[in-house]
Structure 1
């Protein structure tokens, strides 16, 4: 038997606000998955025992996640720094294995089948990448003011991203860009984020405006800049080369790179969804999921229809309502007020994680915690945007809430490793 002193020692250092928010979101997820799948007359206990429904399988995954969380909590924090690079290498190898022997699920070649279970390595590799990035940025040899160090850090995030794109899993690949928020916190110049934002504007321009017109616009702007900067250019000839270089890059980018990436990288259904979202095409089939999701959320009104009383979700009008579109179940059952409280749980979790990150003595722990916050933020923002029509449907789960063993286990491990590091925050880890 464990005496009281041992119990206190086991729980010493736990950040209880994060624990409470974690269990709160998991509980909301179980309620929502149950609401999306339960029908009158279903044998609940029979479904749970035989794992016939997603809510039953989610309970199983929650149990497995609990075991993993306990193991992590009992592990020495130094283990995570010592194995970070090894875990990252293992994650990359696993992603490459998936390309060869992975199974296609709903157009994505990113799943491994182990026995009767499906597993998505791209989820787990987020954790490995976060550890590796924290390890690299906390190294005494890393000078993040140098371009070489920044390129290596970017490569750590982008290598798994590229491999995942090769698996036709564009949605999860986007999440790896969240690590650039971590790099910004650690000293990445803001100008680079401005350049990245400019790139997004260029992409949207290339999709919305005829490329020949864009070429003319870029040429006129370049000519005007050269004219009004002619005195500066006379003193510094390199300015002319820089201006012409930017003009050449933007022109090639919008005329060749974006169209090629749009047709070669994205699937046809993803292209249609983006075109519909941008107003270039009116295809009811391409937006069916989003329209039904928005109808479900809108029908909930301010207070919602009540738990298990939603008609859109109960009668299967919304596809994937226990996974990618779980947010609409919350909206229909609990209304605007319920979704506001629900999003508030995520905001509270993110703010608490940032608070935890800033109190770390160790750079490793701080970088890792910011990585957890960035990953959760990207998932939450993109998923909710999908369900309300602000982003194309690209298949990103809602953290701790959407049905899925790979997702639940990964986010559980992400959070509990952070809690373990925080409990040892007086240590300096590298």
Structure 2
């Protein structure tokens, strides 16, 4: 088994799905960006021309990633994590500010967003930490270290400020949960989200009353023989305190455009010409596609530039308008197939490091995919999250490619890990 060729064990199903997504991405970027004055597809003054350059460099990246021994990624995972943090810190004195966010390094006419590459670094760091035989996530100290690996880059990204990217990193908690983190962490996070939304919709006293009744119901319906009234009281006090603090945080911590987007999403405001314009136009574009779409390059909403940022965060609207319900479903199935394939490959890994990393890849791609589509169809606030492999941008394409193909390399190398 040691001498078996790694190249013969590359998972071509994953690579095929990846290739299809990249091709579909460029086709829709081309459609969203082409004008009557456009000359040829390699025009680097146009986004579709630049994306071809990004794709060309991506091929080189794939070759490099697959050529390097998979043990290299494990051995230097801490180094990659440290470099990622340094790049995020370096943005504050050296970064370029775009639309109020200091998220990019400017390199000539191109920009590079380090948070896109930090996702692979955090995945590697978590995999390295959790694969240590001495680490047990039932131990509180081990839990704290695992959470710190996630929250340090989250803190740096929030300061940029980039809420969308920070949200993606928070989803690494699913990886910790898969490896033994107590489920109450997830339930606490979910409960905080529910309380937050309820506090925005209802008066605080009503939310506190609902919290009290829910604690009371749980207390008297607990299957445990010994009920802990002190613990129940502490939980209620924390819930009440959190509820009362929501209004202050919402008004003083959130930026105005974040408040506007939440208010529109929750139906508290209607602003179809202002902050709600993007989402409203994207729903119109997707709805106008019908079952089979208007045809590639034939989208009237796309050609009329009614949806801002249609080649980046809102690329799914082009798919919906020009490819219709059927084309959108095919795209969703491709993503679903890729995610299921990654999970399948993760479970068959011979080392814990590779398995944990695989779950990190799946968490990042799923969160990006779900949040982006939910954002475009209006069931999630607009927070600037690209659709993996489809949205325009070199940083996102390269970051997702590195993230995925490191795992492809690990999976191909598992034959040498018996």
Which of 278, 287, 299 is equivalent to 1:298?
A: 287
Match of 1:368 in 2: 357
Alignment of 1:198 onto 2:187: no
Match of 1:326 in 2: 315
- Asked whether the equivalents of residues 88 and 132 of structure 1 are also in contact (C-alpha less than 8 Å), the reply is yes
Match of 1:164 in 2: 157
Alpha-carbon deviation of 1:96? 1.1
Alpha-carbon deviation of 1:223? 6.8
Residues of 1 paired with 2:102 and 2:248: CA distance?
Answer: 21
Alignment of 1:270-309 (within 5 A): 270-284=258-272, 285-309=274-298
Which of 121, 135, 147 is equivalent to 2:140?
A: 147
Match of 2:375 in 1: 386
Match of 1:21 in 2: 17
What RMSD over aligned residues (CA atoms) do the two structures have, in Å? 2.1
Over 6 Å off, 4+ runs: 223-226
Alignment of 1:188-267 (within 5 A): 188-219=181-212, 239-256=228-245, 258-267=246-255
Alpha-carbon deviation of 1:280? 1.3
| Residue range with higher mean Cα deviation, 70-79 or 106-115 | 106-115
Alignment of 1:338-357 (within 5 A): 338-357=327-346
| Residue range with higher mean Cα deviation, 185-194 or 116-125 | 185-194
Alpha-carbon deviation of 1:188? 2.2
Which of 384, 388, 394 is equivalent to 1:399?
A: 388
Which of 78, 82, 85 is equivalent to 1:89?
A: 82
Structure 1 unaligned spans of 5+: 1-7
Residues of 1 paired with 2:12 and 2:208: CA distance?
Answer: 56
Residues of 2 paired with 1:87 and 1:117: CA distance?
Answer: 23
| Residue range with higher mean Cα deviation, 130-139 or 36-45 | 36-45
Match of 1:413 in 2: 402
Query: TM-score, with normalisation over the residues of structure 2?
Result: 0.94
- Asked whether the equivalents of residues 360 and 426 of structure 1 are also in contact (C-alpha less than 8 Å), the reply is no
- Asked whether the equivalents of residues 305 and 335 of structure 1 are also in contact (C-alpha less than 8 Å), the reply is yes
Which of 73, 76, 97 is equivalent to 1:104?
A: 97
Match of 1:5 in 2: none
Distance 1:278 1:314, change over 3 A: same
- Asked whether the equivalents of residues 362 and 427 of structure 1 are also in contact (C-alpha less than 8 Å), the reply is no
Which of 38, 63, 66 is equivalent to 1:73?
A: 66
Residues of 1 paired with 2:121 and 2:7: CA distance?
Answer: 26
Deviations 1:74-114 (A, max 9, x none): 10111101110111011111111112322211222211112
Distance 1:71 1:216, change over 3 A: same
Higher relative contact order (CA 8 A, sep 6+): 2
Deviations 1:265-296 (A, max 9, x none): 43211210111111111222111000110111
Deviations 1:104-134 (A, max 9, x none): 1122221111233211111111111000000
Residues of 2 paired with 1:261 and 1:134: CA distance?
Answer: 34
Structure 2 unaligned spans of 5+: none
- Asked whether the equivalents of residues 28 and 315 of structure 2 are also in contact (C-alpha less than 8 Å), the reply is yes
Residues of 1 paired with 2:390 and 2:135: CA distance?
Answer: 37
- Asked whether the equivalents of residues 131 and 368 of structure 1 are also in contact (C-alpha less than 8 Å), the reply is yes
Residues of 1 paired with 2:216 and 2:54: CA distance?
Answer: 60
3-state SS of paired residue (1:142): coil
Distance 1:144 1:312, change over 3 A: same
- Asked whether the equivalents of residues 123 and 407 of structure 1 are also in contact (C-alpha less than 8 Å), the reply is yes
Match of 2:112 in 1: 119
Deviations 1:218-254 (A, max 9, x none): 456667877x59xx99x77xx2321221111111101
- Asked whether the equivalents of residues 101 and 162 of structure 2 are also in contact (C-alpha less than 8 Å), the reply is yes
